[in-house]
Amino acid sequence: MRALTLVLVLDAAVLLIFGLSLMLAPARTAEAFDVALPMPSAELILGMWGAAMATLGAGYFLAAMDPQRHVVLIQIGIARGLIELGLGTGCLLRGVATWRQAGLGIVAGALVAVAYTVLYPRPRAREAEHGEQTQDDG
């Protein structure tokens, strides 16, 4: 469970930092990924995306406190990783993005999906053996 907690905290930190950079300096963040903004109002979309990422990062910090209880956030992390991997690979193959633009998302998405899948919290041995319900299960 410690490895899962560590992955959740690292993922949360990355999402918070990247989300804040998109909210506070969207043009510079886009520039770091070699992305040209088509118009100044595109900064609004990037800022909103950053807010979503930062909020998700806050949720992962919460999940790190008790991964068993907040397992839905780990499921969301697996889905997010697979979607990032698929979207980045698709854009790369279609020539919409370069490796410099899509590579980080592809690699990070794959790592996140694999890590959360491998470290996915299993039911506690005693509960699984006896089919016992926890207080939270009702």
pLDDT tens-digit map of 17-37:
999 999 999 999 999 988 899
pLDDT tens-digit map of 82-119:
999 999 999 999 999 999 999 999 999 999 999 999 99
pTM of the model: 0.83
Q: Residue ranges per domain, the chain?
A: 2-120
DSSP characters over 9-52 = HHHHHHHHHHHHHHHH-HHHHHHHTT---SSTTHHHHHHHHHHH
